[in-house]
Amino acid sequence: MKKFFMLALLALAMNGAYAQSNVPNGDFENWYNVVVNASLNYDDIGTGLTDNWMATLNSLATVPFSLGGPGPVTVFRTTDKYSGTYAAKAISKAFPLGVATIFIPGMIGTAKMDMNGIKALLGQPCHDCKPLHFTGYYKYEPASGDSCAAVLLLSKWNTTTHKRDTIGYGKMVQKNAVATYTKFDVPVNYTGSGTVDTMTMLVVSSAGFNVINFEGSVGRVGSTMYVDALMLEYPAGIQQQFAQQVGVTVYPNPAKDVVNVDLSKEVTGGTFDVYNTAGKLVGSFGMSQLKNTLPVSNLSNGVYYYRLMDGNQFLNTGSFVISK
């Protein structure tokens, strides 16, 4: 029930109490297995390559031997949990790549690996999201004075500067060991204006990470962070509920000129919004039939995210690839 994404905004209450909302798969109960070859496979967060909201850097394991691979697997499913059945275990590791060794932090969140640039693509579409706190439970085993971090960044795309404007930001850094599951609480400070369109949420076993260029990351190999029960806190009366309402199948994937979108049930007045990795809206299509064919020949090669909407309600989200 917690593996897909929907957003519903309710009326704002007048009291100062907080309401909580689960991050999609923030309890880390859903994992899927990726088979790289006959001798290598790994578990990753979610239910499949496209049906997940959070991600890891584990796809580095698919780097072929001819290019210096395989890369390290840095996030693991563990039964050493705070609640439920599973939690996530993130371990910072080294990746010998030719003459250089790149430090890879154990990272969990809305960041997906970009193999070409050895960097992470940040964020998930999240319209008008304004949580007040980012919380979760963690343990930490630092190596040689390292530190871990939890980060929440809310941003919007600026069509004038063609850059992202920061609307809200919060960060927690922990330097000391934490032996038992302990709650972290990251207040979000809003210093920018405008409507948020993208949420970036990260928990990292080495706080000196650089998602733009991993060659700039610093930390200690072996630093280990256990994470469970990630939550967002909102003012009472505002909820961000994550649950699948309508099943979506997108094919072919990768696509070239058209993409087919099949829905599990009809949506009256539905829209299928497509965003690029910068969070910019690049297409919006009416979506009311069970089977739909959308023209995408105008999109350049790359990964795109979609949101199925019914008015102001999120019904589902996911991604597809354009490759021509």
pLDDT bin (cut points 50, 70, 90) of residue 47 is confident
| Averaged pLDDT for residues 37-58 | 85
Measured distance CA(54)–CA(51) in Å, rounded: 9
Q: What is the CATH number of the domain that holds 126?
A: 2.60.120.890
Provide the residue type at 114 as one letter: D
Q: Average pLDDT of the chain?
A: 83
Q: How many domains does the chain have?
A: 2
Return the structure tokens found at 301.
């090669």
Residues 191 and 44 in one domain: yes
Q: What is the CATH number of the domain that holds 304?
A: 2.60.40.3080
In a domain, 274, yes or no: yes
Residues 53 and 197 in one domain: yes
Residue 90 has pLDDT above 90, yes or no: yes
Are 19 and 233 a contacting pair, CB within 8 Å?
yes
Question: Beta partners for 204?
Answer: 107, 149
Supply the range of the domain harboring residue 111: 18-235
Return the structure tokens found at 231.
């939550």
Measured distance CA(18)–CA(12) in Å, rounded: 11
Residue 115 has pLDDT above 60, yes or no: no
User: What's the pTM?
Assistant: 0.70
pLDDT bin (cut points 50, 70, 90) of residue 124 is confident
Of 272, 277, 230, the closest CA to residue 250 belongs to 272
In a domain, 219, yes or no: yes
Q: Of 235, 258, 290, which closes a domain?
A: 235
Measured distance CA(38)–CA(40) in Å, rounded: 6
Instruction: Establish whether the linkage from the previous residue to 254 is cis, with ω within 30° of 0.
Output: yes
Residues 191 and 96 in one domain: yes
In a domain, 5, yes or no: no
In a domain, 220, yes or no: yes
Residues 141 and 51 in one domain: yes
Residues 291 and 270 in one domain: yes
Dihedral angle computed from the Cα positions of residues 52, 58, 61 and 62, in that order, rounded to the nearest 10 degrees: 30
Residues 256 and 171 in one domain: no
Are 221 and 103 a contacting pair, CB within 8 Å?
yes
Give pLDDT tens digits for 236-294: 544 454 445 677 888 998 899 999 999 888 888 888 988 886 667 899 999 888 999 99
| Averaged pLDDT for residues 73-97 | 95
pLDDT bin (cut points 50, 70, 90) of residue 74 is very high
Q: Is 17 left (phi over 0), alpha (psi -120 to 50) or beta?
A: beta
Residue 43 has pLDDT above 50, yes or no: yes
- Residue 10, pLDDT score: 22
Instruction: Establish whether the linkage from the previous residue to 252 is cis, with ω within 30° of 0.
Output: yes
Provide the residue type at 156 as one letter: K
Are 214 and 118 a contacting pair, CB within 8 Å?
yes
In a domain, 12, yes or no: no
Residues 209 and 294 in one domain: no
Return the structure tokens found at 66.
């001819």
